């Protein structure tokens, strides 16, 4: 007879599958390796009799671990612990988390992999390079790459080298660094920062002002911060916005831009954009464009984006010299 206090991890898994029944167990088997299936099947075959309270304990423990894992996925170990403490009390919550981290092998810095890279950067950028290397080595590659690229240039190679040469680190040190970083991130989260502002925000604002106001702001920014001004201009009118131009403006753009750029841009454009552009071509030109686009074959997204950028630049230039008008909010764009 199998009792709770003597159960191994494999025995608990066997009891769980027996309790779930053959249909559910068969579905679970689909996600296991051949070796895991062999060991688990052997364990199931060796189970003779299980006390009802032992089976209930195993099912309850599985349910708790599943809940904890879900909470960790939502907000990290700290969040899971807080929720579990409210549900089961501190002692039981600690037990669930300990079982989970040992049975499912939750990697250190799990909470950090769900945090914003900029937020992590703010907390570690002044730490010792070895500490930074330790944290980055446990993050997702993309996340760590973003943080590394934001660090001072003279530190980047050193930290990359430290990550490459890192062999093993004491669990006590890992735990200590992890706790400090989690505490810092948790305290900032409780302050409920909401992302606001940014280039896209000012673009949206400027798209709603009249042309004279827009020009005044951009001219001032051109003096104060030319790079920022250029970035705002790039985002203020995108290729798909060509639909807001009047027919005369579209015809002027078609005459001005390179045909190869236009074909590339239209290749992946929306039906609405294609329709309005073709409508402003002669029938012969439109038919030729459609035929050439059909035989163009696959195109690289980067080539399309570069072509669209060149067309947008042309549109902005034509507007600046007064040859076309881009409709905006306010009254100075009304044509009478």
**pLDDT at position 277, please?**
94
Residue 170's φ and ψ, nearest 5 degrees, are -55, 130
Same fold, 112-190 and 200-320: yes
Cα gap 155→177, rounded to integer Å: 20
Q: In which band, very low, low, confident or very high, does the pLDDT at 159 lie, cut at 50, 70 and 90?
A: confident
pLDDT surpasses 70 at 307: yes
The residue-averaged pLDDT of 63-87 equals 65
Distance, in Å, from the CA atom of 234 to the CA atom of 313, rounded to the nearest integer, reads 8
Asked whether residue 5 carries a pLDDT value surpassing 60, the answer given is no
Higher-scoring residue by pLDDT: 48, 313: 313
Which tokens sit at 198?
């940014």
Sequential DSSP letters for 249-292: HHHHHHHHS-HHHHHHHHHTS-HHHHHHHHHTS-HHHHHHHHHH
Query: Which pLDDT band, with edges at 50, 70 and 90, does 24 fall under?
Result: confident
- Out of 104-108, 196-200, 277-281, pick the least confident: 104-108
For residues 73, 74, 77, 80, the Cα torsion angle rounded to the nearest 10 degrees is -120
| Between residues 7 and 306, the one the model is more confident about | 306
Q: Which residue has the higher pLDDT, 219 or 70?
A: 219
pLDDT digits (tens, 9 = 90+) for 176-225: 777 787 777 666 544 444 444 567 666 766 665 566 666 777 777 888 88
pTM, entire model: 0.39
Q: What is the pLDDT of residues 118-150, one digit of tens each?
A: 878 888 888 888 888 888 877 777 777 888 888
* pLDDT, averaged across the chain: 75
CATH of domain 200-320: 1.10.220.30
Instruction: Examine the pLDDT at 3 and tell me if it is beyond 60.
Output: no
Candidates 3.30.460.10, 2.60.120.260, 3.40.920.10, 1.10.220.30; CATH matching 112-190: 1.10.220.30
Return the domain boundaries, the chain: 4-103, 112-190, 200-320
At residue 189, the pLDDT reads 46
All residues at 6 or more sequence positions from 81 whose CB lies less than 8 Å from its CB, including other chains? 93, 94, 97
User: How would residue 285 be classed by pLDDT, with cut points 50, 70 and 90?
Assistant: very high
pLDDT at res. 333: 45
Of 210, 201, 205, which Cα lies nearest the Cα of 326?
210
Model pLDDT, residue 305: 82
Q: How far apart are the C-alpha atoms of 262 and 252, rounded to whole Å?
A: 13
The mean pLDDT of 6-23, rounded to a whole number, is 75
The more confidently predicted of residues 122 and 92 is 122
CA 293-298-302 angle, to 5 degrees, is 100
Are the C-beta atoms of 64 and 96 separated by less than 8 Å? Answer: yes
pLDDT grade, residue 313 (50/70/90)?
confident
- Say what the pLDDT of residue 336 is: 33
Dihedral angle computed from the Cα positions of residues 192, 67, 109 and 136, in that order, rounded to the nearest 10 degrees: -90
């Amino acid at each position: 007879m199998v009792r709770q206090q003597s159960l191994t991890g494999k025995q608990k898994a066997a009891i769980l599958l027996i309790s779930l029944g053959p249909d559910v167990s068969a579905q679970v088997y689909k996600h296991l390796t051949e070796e895991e299936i062999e060991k688990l099947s052997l364990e199931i075959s060796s189970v003779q009799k299980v006390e009802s309270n032992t089976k209930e304990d195993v099912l309850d423990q599985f349910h708790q671990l599943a809940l904890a894992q879900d909470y960790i996925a939502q907000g990290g170990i700290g969040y899971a612990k807080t929720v579990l403490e409210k549900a089961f009390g501190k002692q039981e919550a600690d037990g669930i988390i300990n079982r989970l981290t040992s049975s499912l092998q939750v990697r250190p810095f799990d909470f950090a992999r769900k945090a914003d890279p900029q937020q992590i950067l703010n907390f570690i950028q002044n730490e010792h390079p070895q500490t930074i290397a330790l944290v980055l080595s446990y993050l997702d590659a993309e996340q760590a790459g973003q943080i590394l690229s934001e660090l001072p240039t003279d530190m980047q190679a050193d930290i990359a080298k430290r990550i490459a040469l890192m062999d093993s680190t004491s669990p006590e040190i890992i735990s200590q660094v992890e706790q400090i970083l989690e505490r810092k991130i948790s305290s900032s989260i409780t302050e409920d920062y909401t992302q606001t502002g940014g280039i896209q925000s000012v673009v949206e604002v400027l798209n709603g002002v009249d042309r004279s106001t827009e020009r005044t702001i951009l001219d001032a920014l051109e003096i104060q911060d030319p790079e920022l001004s250029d970035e705002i201009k790039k985002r203020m009118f995108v290729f798909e916005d060509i639909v807001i131009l009047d027919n005369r403006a579209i015809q002027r753009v078609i005459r001005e831009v390179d045909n190869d750029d236009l074909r590339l841009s239209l290749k992946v454009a929306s039906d609405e954009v294609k329709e309005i552009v073709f409508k402003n071509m002669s029938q012969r030109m439109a038919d030729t464009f459609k035929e050439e686009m059909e035989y163009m074959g696959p195109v690289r997204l980067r080539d399309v984006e570069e072509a669209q950028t060149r067309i947008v630049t042309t549109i902005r230039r034509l507007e600046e010299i007064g040859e076309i008008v881009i409709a905006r909010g306010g009254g100075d764009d009304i044509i009478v």
